């Protein structure tokens, strides 16, 4: 009798999967091949997860990260696309849709590290960089919109350069500031559907983009200063920002949206 019930339940589940469609849930990470994006991909790589790793030009890094993700038991989709454009975001969304997946979480890490004093910038190049560093989060949400469900979450990485002047950081800082405002507007429209969007602001992380802006020596100096001057006595680590994402993506944080969450050990609390 017990075995018959189990068999019946299995048949009914199978019929439901066929007739109604059971979708895999994907975690989409733009700029997911290295830096913070890679940290997020590895943190959420586990059996049963599909990690979508988007990259623009460095295919070798994307494949290396994908191998690490698969070694942890997750599936991968590697998508080459410029996430700073509508067309690129649409290509990412199409890849997820063609895989038969829905979007559990999207983490936007793509950045255009155009490093130049603002008054010396090329207008067209500056506009392109600011578009990537600001409006692209809107492009991503719009193209993924039909794949989002109640409980889906979206994250963007911001920084102190959106609030204070940082040398050669205007193209990124202006974009970060604009995105923080844009996210507040998107949050109010997504909230009725049970979809949340938040910004994460960690201390300085020695990513390739940061090294491109400041150079190797200055980046090392900035990292040392961030560690030595931090009230908590250390520099930020990947687990600091990946674990806050894990919490904010959980049902326990269903009432938190449109916020900037600082992950910096209290570094922004004093002059």
Q: Is 99 exposed, middle or buried (0-12, 13-18, 19+ CB in 10 A)?
A: middle
Cα 199 to Cα 108: distance, rounded to the nearest angstrom: 10
Picking from 81, 51, 56, the residue whose alpha carbon sits closest to that of residue 66 is 51
Helices 35-43 and 238-248: crossing angle in degrees, nearest 10, is 60
Cα 66 to Cα 7: distance, rounded to the nearest angstrom: 37
Structure tokens at 178: 């604009």
Domain 2-263 class in CATH: alpha beta
Structure tokens at 218: 């200055």
Cα 260 to Cα 159: distance, rounded to the nearest angstrom: 10
Question: H/E element holding 157?
Answer: strand 148-157
What pLDDT is stored for residue 1 in this prediction? 46
| pLDDT mean by block of 10 residues, the chain; 271 residues | 43 40 86 96 97 97 98 98 98 98 97 95 97 97 98 96 90 96 98 98 86 85 89 94 98 98 90 66
- Chain centroid offset of residue 98 CA: 21
Number of CB atoms found within 10 A of residue 137's CB: 27
What pLDDT is stored for residue 2 in this prediction? 39
> Under a CB-based contact definition with an 8 Å cutoff, are residues 222 and 214 in contact?
yes
> What's the helix, strand, coil split of the chain in %, to 5?
55, 20, 30
What pLDDT is stored for residue 110 in this prediction? 95
What pLDDT is stored for residue 163 in this prediction? 87
pTM here? 0.88
What pLDDT is stored for residue 8 in this prediction? 43
Mean pLDDT across the chain, nearest whole number?
A: 91
Picking from 270, 11, 240, 256, the residue whose alpha carbon sits closest to that of residue 154 is 256
What pLDDT is stored for residue 22 in this prediction? 59
The per-residue pLDDT for range 147-157, each reduced to its tens digit, is 999 999 999 99
Q: What is the DSSP string of 114-155?
A: --S-GGGS-HHHHHHHHHHHTTHHHHHHHHHGGGEEEEEEEE
Cα 86 to Cα 37: distance, rounded to the nearest angstrom: 20
What pLDDT is stored for residue 208 in this prediction? 83
Domain assignments of the chain as residue spans, ordered by start:
2-263
Three-state DSSP state, 42? helix
What pLDDT is stored for residue 53 in this prediction? 98
Picking from 205, 199, 201, the residue whose alpha carbon sits closest to that of residue 248 is 199
């Amino acid at each position: 009798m017990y075995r018959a019930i189990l068999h019946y339940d299995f048949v009914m589940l199978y019929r439901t999967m066929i007739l109604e469609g059971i979708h895999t849930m994907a975690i989409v990470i733009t700029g997911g091949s290295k830096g913070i994006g890679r940290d997020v991909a590895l943190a959420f790589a586990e059996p049963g997860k599909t990690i979508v790793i988007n990259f623009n030009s460095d295919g070798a890094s994307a494949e290396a990260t994908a191998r690490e993700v698969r070694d942890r038991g997750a599936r991968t989709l590697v998508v080459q696309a410029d996430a700073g454009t509508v067309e690129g975001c649409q290509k990412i969304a199409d890849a997820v849709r063609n895989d038969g997946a829905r979007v559990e979480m999207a983490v936007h890490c793509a950045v255009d590290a155009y490093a130049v004093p603002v008054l010396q910038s090329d207008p067209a190049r500056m506009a392109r960089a600011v578009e990537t560093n600001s409006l692209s989060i809107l492009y991503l949400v719009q193209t993924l919109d039909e794949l989002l469900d109640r409980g889906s979450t979206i994250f963007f990485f911001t920084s102190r350069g959106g609030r204070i002047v940082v040398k050669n950081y205007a193209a990124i800082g202006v974009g970060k500031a604009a995105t923080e405002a844009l996210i507040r507007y998107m949050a109010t429209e997504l909230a009725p559907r049970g979809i949340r969007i938040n910004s994460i602001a960690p201390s300085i992380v020695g990513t390739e983009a940061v090294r491109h802006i400041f150079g190797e020596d200055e980046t090392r100096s900035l990292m040392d200063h961030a560690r030595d001057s931090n009230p908590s006595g250390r520099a930020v680590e990947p687990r600091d920002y990946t674990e806050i994402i894990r919490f904010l993506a959980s049902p326990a944080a269903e009432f938190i949206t449109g916020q900037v969450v600082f992950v910096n050990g209290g570094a922004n609390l004093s002059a």
